[in-house]
Amino acid sequence: MTPDLRTLVERLKAVSHPLRLRTLALLASGELCVCQVAEVLEVPLSSASEALRDLRRAGFVTERREGRWVYVSVVPEAGASSLLKGLIEEAGRLPEAAEDLRRARDIRALEVPVVCSRVQGASSRTRKPALP
Amino acid sequence: MTPDLRTLVERLKAVSHPLRLRTLALLASGELCVCQVAEVLEVPLSSASEALRDLRRAGFVTERREGRWVYVSVVPEAGASSLLKGLIEEAGRLPEAAEDLRRARDIRALEVPVVCSRVQGASSRTRKPALP
DNA sequence: TAGTCAATTCGGGAAAAAGCGAAACAACGA
DNA sequence: TCGTTGTTTCGCTTTTTCCCGAATTGACTA
């Protein structure tokens, strides 16, 4: 149950990163698909995908595939680790996280991932206007 | 009171490192001088000093000078951050930490830092026998 | 089967972190 | 003032991490 030093350090490294930490705080509000994460956090899809891969390797998030989409969420037992619970709580208080959550709410309001087609490769700051 | 994203990430980075994490867990058992830390953790003095500098910058430890020695310890308000408290608790359960604590006990049993003269530059695995 | 779209993987250059001996600094004691 | 001794800083190499466009994969659909 108690991890060894290397494992604990790996887990800490996984969250010692602005994007990954924001991602974790974001997912604490509920699952999203990868392209929604990229959209909300305003980063290229590949960056979001890599952030999620690292969080998955560290054991913080799981995925659920549905058609072409991959929905990611915080693993249930995450609450078990008081460490992670405290971290998510602390991260949730960040101003950046609040901002992300607002965008997430808007995006969740839309049907499914309508959003996705907008991203692929381009930073959302330089992308084209919304869809029909 | 709530740190911003960058600060939180810096603090997490500071502990995402085997030596620094062990150092923190070690100091949780009480203050030590820098050379004692180096001795207990079996690393060169410069490595211990740098680890402590990083932990100090992150706000985890303070120093207290006494003559030529610099005693370091976990900052009192550390307990205030439930995050740090949980982390120290978790780190304390590591087998490596237990090992370190045993060595620390032996070293604390000696008078003051008799130990120090043994280290300077050399890893303790390759150092000369004890003093007179 | 071709085309579309979500997601992952790859490539590779730049930046940051690690690690540690050697030199510099600082506080004592003879 | 010299020589010790504890501590910090420097110099430098090696390793790791970051970042993102481009290519690739895989699932669905017309």
When pLDDT is cut at 50, 70 and 90, the band that residue A82 belongs to is: confident
Strand D nucleotides within 7 Å of a protein CB:
5-10, 17-23, 26-28
In a domain, A123, yes or no: no
In a domain, A118, yes or no: no
When pLDDT is cut at 50, 70 and 90, the band that residue B114 belongs to is: low
- Does the pLDDT of residue B21 top 90, yes or no? yes
Q: Which two tokens stand for residue B131?
A: 């003093």
Q: Mind listing the pLDDT tens digit for each residue in B26-82?
A: 999 999 999 999 999 999 999 999 999 999 999 999 999 999 999 999 998 865 677
Say which CATH number the domain at B19 has.
1.10.10.10
Q: Mind listing the pLDDT tens digit for each residue in A31-40?
A: 999 999 999 9
Judge: B9–A2 Cβ closer than 8 Å, yes or no.
Answer: no
Residues of A within 8 A of B79 (CB-CB) are: none
8 A C-beta contact, residue A3 and residue A11: yes
Residue closest to D26 C1′ by Cα: A68
Calpha distance B1→B43 (Å, rounded)? 35
Calpha distance B29→B32 (Å, rounded)? 9
Calpha distance B55→A49 (Å, rounded)? 31
In a domain, A40, yes or no: yes
In a domain, A126, yes or no: no
Residue B129 has what pLDDT? Answer: 30
Residue A54 has what pLDDT? Answer: 98
In a domain, B128, yes or no: no
- Does the pLDDT of residue B119 top 70, yes or no? no
Q: Mind listing the pLDDT tens digit for each residue in A38-52?
A: 999 999 999 999 999
In a domain, A124, yes or no: no
Amino acid at B86: G
Q: How many domains does chain B contain in total?
A: 1
Domain range for A49? 5-112
- Greatest CA separation for chain A: 52
In a domain, A43, yes or no: yes
